[in-house]
Amino acid sequence: MAFEITDSNFQQEVLEKEGVAVLDFWAEWCGPCRMIAPIIEKLSDEYNGKALIGKVNVDHNPDIAMKYGIRSIPTILIMKNGEVVNKHVGYTTQANLAQLIDSQLA
C-alpha cells in the first residue's frame, strides 16, 4: 500500500531520506486520480524496499502542494535524495512510471 505523505511527515520521510521517492498528488474528487490509484498501489508493491511510493492528498496537505507548485492533479513527482528529478502531470501508464522510476534507481 502506498505511504501517506502529509505536511507533517514530508520533511522526515522524503526530504531527509536518501533514495528515490515517488509522490502522487491527488484528491478524492478527481476522476483521473482515481484511475491512476491502482497503478500507484501496484508500484508500491513492486518497488517495496527500493523506492518510497507515496500519496499526497492536496486537499488535506496544501503546504506540500504549494511548495512544489502543484496546480493540476494527478501530478507525479519523482524525487531523488530530496530533489525533484522528474514531474508528470495527468494520467499515465504503469510501464511509463516504472521506466521513470527505474531510470533513477540505476
From the list 33, 52, 64, 65, the catalytic residue is 33
Concerning whether 30 is annotated as a catalytic residue, the answer is yes
**Beta bridge partners of residue 75, listed in sequence order:** 25, 89
Q: Is 33 a catalytic residue?
A: yes
The reply to whether omega before 38 is within 30° of 0 (cis) is no
Q: Which residue out of 7, 19, 30, 89 is catalytically annotated?
A: 30
CB 25 within 8 A of CB 77: yes
Active site residues: 30, 33
